[in-house]
């Protein structure tokens, strides 16, 4: 960079610092509940305090900040808060690595990142800041847990977890690498443990139904939620086990295929496995097989599709519809957690069963024949999964699938071996984590009294901070007798505290509620204050949270409503899922080594240019491809505006815009109003700030052209002034420091944030009308009045539709239509 270029750059550093200090000193973004003003709550997903902010944060928060500032100019009472999703495993790992304490690491990061957000000029009400690791926050989460426990919405059950014996800890799936512990390389074993669950399944139906209310959500997110909840309706039905007093229950969504059952598949973890195989000739072989499947499962990610395999149990069960005996297999693709953990296998009509039957030479029996087809077993290469009419199905023969389903369910109900049944893919939410850095679960175990909640006045059950930073280990709570040894709140005898902490998704399920009353000391929520602000009008964040975080938040909202804290059904009225920031074709990430640090950008170009680039480079829902020329371009634009305004300080004061404008000033006046319309529509309709910004850039070009051609008339000055003022207000939400400074530079006394968003004048925005001549066979047949900016296609259509023209082309074949810009249309017939 040459020195002349440097000197022509405006001094963003001192300007940005000056305005940041000003905003902080005047607490300009602080809000309180005001019944006379319409509220608007805009929220960006709060960050995990990992150390430094990255470009994804910059993008997310810039989008949110434009919305917040725009809505303020529109006169709303805007809540725009920020906080920290501050519990979680990385803090423990980092502490171990650095011989420090998770709390120290976390709070240091928060301080650093808060400062970075301030440097970006984001308009948060910092007085409402929340860090979820603070006892003032999780204390209320603990109270909520106890209320849930009392309502049966938090309960304990046994589950199988990944256990590392040498680390004495439970591991998350992603911490098990090829069946070994990621830290010590010891073999990981499944272990049955008691864990706490939230009964989200109680709300499955409402969570599904209310998806229809979410008109302000992207369709794809609604679909993902719908699939995650996964409602299926069908038949549950009992198959008796031959020779035993036992029954295997199955769930099927295709009762119409029940006469095509040729075997039964059950999950390796199924309750009946032991009973079925004990005493069988190859019992040991079967047990080995089950062990193999278990360890294979552990090495697979949840998304891996295993090669199908199974083993015959030696037992048969009986299809209650035709009394046929079919063999019972243990199969690796049957999930214990879904339906009943057993599947009636219909290889002719189910893909998985087909593959399995082929592999183990089991019979295939088609019973549902698609319209106009015939199914010959020997020729089938796949299962036939579509509906059709029934055959080989006794009294149901000839029925169509839909009708047959109903009739078959009816028959099962009449004969009491089955009934209509609905299942959900959604499971209850397991929230126990055997970790240190999380919110303690406020429960005490007493030998006499059983499970006793901690008394409300003893909350918070505080996380002990007594670890010695020098010893390099962060012991989980179950290794700290000074934490878990306690007395029973009911009987006073010695008792033991729960040593698990809560999943960090619990904190993020309700933080947006707490922002409404962050310092409330009496209860989980101040109903009036939270009630005033909620629901969140606009929520903005990454699509990676499209399922769990949003679903849990919806669940918490409904639950808190039922507990009497809230009056709303849904937490987020509108949702914007922003795309990723990518560079050289892949997501910016440390592991890829393609990270651009916002810190460097802010240092080199300033916060405003950084913000402008992140808004300009792509519409929010699309991925943003990093490109350094784009940053340069944004910087150049702001510098041009800066120089333009610096040269014309007198422009601030102008007389009213006169009615008779000369050509030059009318063009600018028109462009100003067209730009206001365009920017307003872009923001209101779909937050397409990129096109809004290019609109303002066009306006600036017209502005410079107008001043170049100016003839010194007062009307021109007035139009120029109108353009500059509008331009600054339109840009203010995106580049707030810059516009605040320029607003003063043109001589304004009050702050730009006291302005109203400009209204556009429909009349002024209209293009001038032109008269276009229409010729047919070279003869003038009509004249059209059209806007000067009309495009050729519209003009042709108008010409063809004109009454006078119609008389001459009616019945003729139009060969060609030629448009001569701004002059004429020639129709050749
Ligand atoms: C017989 C059948 C015949 C089936 C057919 C399908 C097609 P959705 O729709 O996703 O709910 N199933 C039931 N429990 C299962 C489990 N624990 N693990 C794996 N698969 C299981 O799926 C329901 C279908 O998935 C059920 O209907 C069952 O297979 C299978 F032509 O029963 B079906
Ligand atoms: Zn007791």
Q: What is the pLDDT of residue 474?
A: 64
- Between residues 731 and 716, which one has the greater pLDDT? 731
Give the position, in ligand 1's atom list, of the atom nearest the Cα of 345. Answer: 1
Q: Atom 26 in ligand 1: which residue has the minimum CA distance?
A: 252
Measured between alpha carbons, how far is 82 from 796 in angstroms, rounded to an integer?
A: 54
Q: Atom 19 in ligand 1: which residue has the minimum CA distance?
A: 334
> Does ligand 1 lie within 6 Å of residue 691's CB atom?
no
List of E strands, 9-95: 39-44, 77-79, 83-84
For residues 68 and 80, the answer to whether their CB atoms sit within 8 Å is yes
> Does ligand 1 lie within 6 Å of residue 221's CB atom?
no
Q: Atom 28 in ligand 1: which residue has the minimum CA distance?
A: 252
Q: What is the pLDDT of residue 164?
A: 84
Residue 7 pLDDT grade (very low, low, confident, very high; cuts 50, 70, 90):
very low
> Does ligand 1 lie within 6 Å of residue 251's CB atom?
yes
For residues 440 and 119, the answer to whether their CB atoms sit within 8 Å is no
Q: Atom 8 in ligand 1: which residue has the minimum CA distance?
A: 232
Across the range 255-266, mean pLDDT stands at: 98
Residue 432's H or E segment, with its range, is strand 432-433
Question: Which residue in this structure is represented by tokens 């006892």?
Answer: 135
Q: What is the pLDDT of residue 475?
A: 74
Q: What is the pLDDT of residue 182?
A: 75
Dig out the tokens for 735 from the structure.
Answer: 């580049």
Name the residue of 339, 352, 380, 385 whose CB sits within 8 Å of the most ligand 1 atoms, as the mutation to test its pocket. Answer: 339
Which ligand sits nearest to residue 350's alpha carbon? 1
Name the residue of 237, 252, 319 whose CB sits within 8 Å of the most ligand 1 atoms, as the mutation to test its pocket. Answer: 252
Find the 141 Cα to ligand 2 centroid distance in Å: 24
> Does ligand 1 lie within 6 Å of residue 316's CB atom?
no
> Does ligand 1 lie within 6 Å of residue 252's CB atom?
yes
Q: Atom 2 in ligand 1: which residue has the minimum CA distance?
A: 254
Across the range 173-197, mean pLDDT stands at: 82
Name the residue of 253, 308, 422 whose CB sits within 8 Å of the most ligand 1 atoms, as the mutation to test its pocket. Answer: 253
> Does ligand 1 lie within 6 Å of residue 344's CB atom?
yes
Q: What is the pLDDT of residue 298?
A: 66
> Does ligand 1 lie within 6 Å of residue 417's CB atom?
no
Q: What is the pLDDT of residue 651?
A: 66
Residue 300 pLDDT grade (very low, low, confident, very high; cuts 50, 70, 90):
low
Percent of the chain with pLDDT over 70: 96
Measured between alpha carbons, how far is 732 from 752 in angstroms, rounded to an integer?
A: 8
**Alpha helix (H) residue ranges in 99-152:** 102-119, 135-150
Q: What is the pLDDT of residue 210?
A: 98
Residue 316 DSSP label = E
Q: What is the pLDDT of residue 3?
A: 37
Before 146, cis peptide (omega within 30)?
no
Find the 253 Cα to ligand 1 centroid distance in Å: 6
Find the 443 Cα to ligand 2 centroid distance in Å: 12
> Does ligand 1 lie within 6 Å of residue 334's CB atom?
yes
Across the range 693-705, mean pLDDT stands at: 95
Segment 509-563, tens digit of pLDDT: 999 999 999 999 999 999 999 999 999 999 999 988 888 999 999 999 999 999 9
Q: Is the pLDDT of residue 690 over 90?
A: yes
> Does ligand 1 lie within 6 Å of residue 254's CB atom?
yes
Find the 228 Cα to ligand 1 centroid distance in Å: 16
- Half-sphere CA count of 818, side-chain side, radius 13 A: 8
Give the position, in ligand 1's atom list, of the atom nearest the Cα of 334. Answer: 18
Find the 211 Cα to ligand 1 centroid distance in Å: 25
Name the residue of 257, 332, 350, 392 whose CB sits within 8 Å of the most ligand 1 atoms, as the mutation to test its pocket. Answer: 350
Residue 250 pLDDT grade (very low, low, confident, very high; cuts 50, 70, 90):
very high
Segment 307-316, tens digit of pLDDT: 899 999 999 9
Give the position, in ligand 1's atom list, of the atom nearest the Cα of 383. Answer: 31
Q: What is the pLDDT of residue 614?
A: 96
Q: What is the pLDDT of residue 58?
A: 96
Residue 241 pLDDT grade (very low, low, confident, very high; cuts 50, 70, 90):
very high
Across the range 423-432, mean pLDDT stands at: 91
> Does ligand 1 lie within 6 Å of residue 426's CB atom?
no
Q: Is the pLDDT of residue 303 over 80?
A: no
For residues 345 and 264, the answer to whether their CB atoms sit within 8 Å is yes
Give the position, in ligand 1's atom list, of the atom nearest the Cα of 338. Answer: 17
Q: Is the pLDDT of residue 119 over 80?
A: yes
> Does ligand 1 lie within 6 Å of residue 248's CB atom?
no
Q: Which domains does the chain have, with CATH numbers?
A: 3-143+505-592 (3.40.50.620), 231-424 (3.90.740.10), 647-765 (1.10.730.10), 769-828 (3.10.20.590)
Which ligand sits nearest to residue 496's alpha carbon? 2
Give the position, in ligand 1's atom list, of the atom nearest the Cα of 341. Answer: 17
Q: What is the pLDDT of residue 1?
A: 36
Which ligand sits nearest to residue 487's alpha carbon? 2
Find the 498 Cα to ligand 2 centroid distance in Å: 14
Percent of the chain with pLDDT over 90: 72
pTM value?
0.84
- Which residues does 775 contact at the CB level (< 8 Å), separation at least 6? 781, 824, 825, 826, 827
Dig out the tokens for 30 from the structure.
Answer: 């602080």
> Does ligand 1 lie within 6 Å of residue 341's CB atom?
yes
For residues 150 and 453, the answer to whether their CB atoms sit within 8 Å is yes
Across the range 212-219, mean pLDDT stands at: 97
Segment 580-606, tens digit of pLDDT: 999 888 888 877 888 888 999 999 999
Return the axis-axis angle of helices 714-731 and 689-709, rounded to nearest 10°: 160
Q: Atom 27 in ligand 1: which residue has the minimum CA distance?
A: 252
> Does ligand 1 lie within 6 Å of residue 257's CB atom?
yes
For residues 309 and 272, the answer to whether their CB atoms sit within 8 Å is no
- Between residues 710 and 201, which one has the greater pLDDT? 201
Q: Atom 33 in ligand 1: which residue has the minimum CA distance?
A: 252
How far lies 814's CA from each of 381, 781, 809, 827, in Å? 55, 15, 7, 7
Q: What is the pLDDT of residue 193?
A: 86
- Between residues 421 and 771, which one has the greater pLDDT? 421
> Does ligand 1 lie within 6 Å of residue 232's CB atom?
yes
Name the residue of 228, 232, 233, 254 whose CB sits within 8 Å of the most ligand 1 atoms, as the mutation to test its pocket. Answer: 254
Q: What is the pLDDT of residue 307?
A: 87
Q: Is the pLDDT of residue 393 over 80?
A: yes
Q: What is the pLDDT of residue 165?
A: 85
Measured between alpha carbons, how far is 611 from 690 in angstroms, rounded to an integer?
A: 12
Helix (H, G, I), strand (E, B) or coil at 585: coil
Find the 143 Cα to ligand 2 centroid distance in Å: 20
Segment 433-491, tens digit of pLDDT: 888 999 999 999 999 999 999 999 999 999 998 665 455 566 788 888 999 999 999 99
> Does ligand 1 lie within 6 Å of residue 172's CB atom?
no
Average pLDDT, the chain: 92
> Does ligand 1 lie within 6 Å of residue 350's CB atom?
yes
Question: Which of 129-138, 174-183, 661-670 is most confident?
Answer: 129-138
Find the 254 Cα to ligand 1 centroid distance in Å: 8
For residues 608 and 12, the answer to whether their CB atoms sit within 8 Å is yes
Q: Is the pLDDT of residue 86 over 90?
A: yes
Phi, psi of 701 (to 5 degrees): -65, -45
Dig out the tokens for 541 from the structure.
Answer: 């964040």
Name the residue of 237, 251, 321, 335 whose CB sits within 8 Å of the most ligand 1 atoms, as the mutation to test its pocket. Answer: 251
CA 224 remoteness from chain centre: 10
């Amino acid at each position: 960079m040459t020195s002349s270029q440097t000197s022509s750059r405006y001094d963003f550093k001192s300007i940005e610092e000056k305005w940041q200090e000003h905003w902080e000193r005047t607490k300009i973004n602080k809000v309180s509940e005001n019944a006379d003003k319409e509220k608007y709550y805009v929220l960006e997903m709060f960050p995990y305090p990992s150390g430094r902010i990255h470009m994804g944060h910059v993008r997310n928060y810039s989008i949110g900040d434009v919305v917040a500032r725009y809505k303020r100019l529109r006169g709303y009472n805007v809540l725009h808060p920020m906080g920290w999703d501050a519990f979680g495993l990385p803090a423990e790992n980092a502490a171990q690595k650095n011989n420090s304490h998770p709390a120290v690491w976390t709070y240091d990061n928060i301080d650093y990142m808060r400062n970075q957000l301030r440097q970006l000029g984001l308009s948060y009400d910092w007085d409402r800041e929340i860090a979820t690791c603070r006892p003032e926050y999780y204390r209320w989460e603990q109270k909520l847990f106890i209320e849930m426990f009392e309502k049966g919405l938090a309960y304990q059950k046994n589950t199988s977890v990944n256990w590392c014996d040498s680390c004495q800890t439970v591991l998350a799936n992603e911490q098990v690498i090829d069946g070994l512990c990621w830290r010590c390389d010891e073999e990981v074993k499944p272990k049955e443990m008691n864990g706490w669950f939230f009964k989200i399944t109680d709300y499955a139906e409402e969570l599904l139904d209310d998806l229809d209310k979410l008109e302000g959500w992207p369709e794809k997110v609604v679909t993902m939620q719908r699939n995650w909840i996964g409602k299926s309706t069908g038949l549950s039905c009992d198959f008796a086990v031959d020779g035993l007093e036992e029954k295997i229950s199955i769930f099927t969504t295709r009762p119409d295929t029940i006469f095509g059952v040729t075997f039964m598949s059950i999950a390796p973890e199924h309750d009946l496995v032991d009973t079925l195989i004990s005493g069988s000739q190859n019992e040991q072989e079967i047990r080995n097989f089950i062990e193999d499947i278990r360890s294979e499962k552990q090495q697979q990610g949840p998304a891996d599709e295993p090669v199908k395999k199974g083993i015959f149990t030696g037992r048969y069960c009986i299809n209650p519809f035709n009394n046929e005996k079919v063999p019972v297999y243990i199969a690796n693709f049957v999930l214990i957690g879904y339906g009943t953990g057993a599947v009636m296998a219909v290889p002719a009509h189910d893909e998985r069963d087909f593959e399995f039957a082929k592999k183990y030479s089991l019979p295939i029996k088609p019973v549902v024949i698609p319209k106009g087809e015939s199914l010959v077993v020997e020729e089938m290469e796949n299962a036939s999964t579509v509906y059709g009419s029934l055959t080989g199905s006794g009294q149901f023969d000839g029925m169509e699938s839909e009708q047959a389903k109903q009739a078959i369910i009816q028959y099962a109900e009449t004969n009491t071996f089955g009934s209509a049944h609905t299942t959900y893919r959604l499971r209850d939410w397991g929230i126990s984590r055997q970790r240190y850095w999380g919110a303690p679960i406020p429960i005490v175990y007493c030998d006499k009294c059983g499970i006793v909640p901690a008394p409300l006045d003893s909350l918070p059950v505080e996380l002990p901070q007594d670890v010695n930073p020098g010893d390099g280990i962060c012991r989980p709570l179950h290794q700290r007798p000074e934490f878990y040894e306690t007395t029973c709140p009911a009987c006073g005898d010695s008792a033991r505290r729960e040593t698990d902490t809560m999943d960090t998704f619990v904190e993020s399920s309700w933080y947006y509620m707490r922002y409404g009353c962050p310092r409330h000391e009496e209860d989980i929520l101040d109903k009036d204050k939270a009630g005033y602000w909620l629901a969140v009008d606009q929520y903005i964040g990454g699509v990676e949270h499209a399922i769990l975080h949003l679903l849990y938040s919806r669940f918490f909202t409904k639950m808190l409503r039922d507990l009497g804290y809230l009056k709303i059904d849904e937490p987020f009225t509108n949702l914007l899922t922003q795309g990723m920031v990518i560079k050289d074709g892949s997501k910016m990430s440390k592991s890829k080594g393609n990270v651009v640090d916002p810190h460097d950008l802010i240092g080199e170009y300033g916060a405003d240019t950084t913000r402008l680039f992140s808004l300009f480079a792509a519409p929010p829902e699309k991925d943003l491809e990093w490109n350094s020329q784009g940053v340069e371009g944004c910087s150049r634009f702001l510098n041009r505006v800066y120089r333009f305004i610096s040269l014309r300080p007198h422009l601030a004061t102008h007389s009213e815009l006169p009615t008779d404008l000369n050509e030059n000033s009318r063009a600018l006046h028109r462009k100003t109003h067209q730009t206001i319309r365009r920017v307003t529509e872009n923001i209101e309709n779909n937050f397409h700030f990129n096109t809004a910004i290019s609109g303002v850039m066009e306006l600036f070009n017209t502005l410079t052209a107008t001043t170049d051609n100016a003839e010194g008339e007062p009307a021109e000055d007035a139009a120029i002034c109108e353009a500059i003022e509008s331009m600054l207000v339109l840009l203010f939400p995106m580049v707030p420091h810059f516009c605040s400074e320029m607003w003063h530079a043109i001589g304004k006394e009050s702050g730009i944030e006291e302005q109203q968003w400009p209204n556009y004048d429909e009349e002024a925005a209209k293009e001038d009308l032109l008269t276009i001549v229409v010729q047919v066979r070279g003869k003038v047949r009509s004249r059209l009045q059209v806007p000067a900016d009309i495009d050729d296609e519209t003009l042709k259509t108008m010409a063809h539709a004109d009454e006078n023209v119609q008389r001459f082309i009616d019945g003729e074949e139009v060969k060609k239509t030629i448009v001569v810009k701004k002059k004429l249309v020639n129709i050749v017939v």
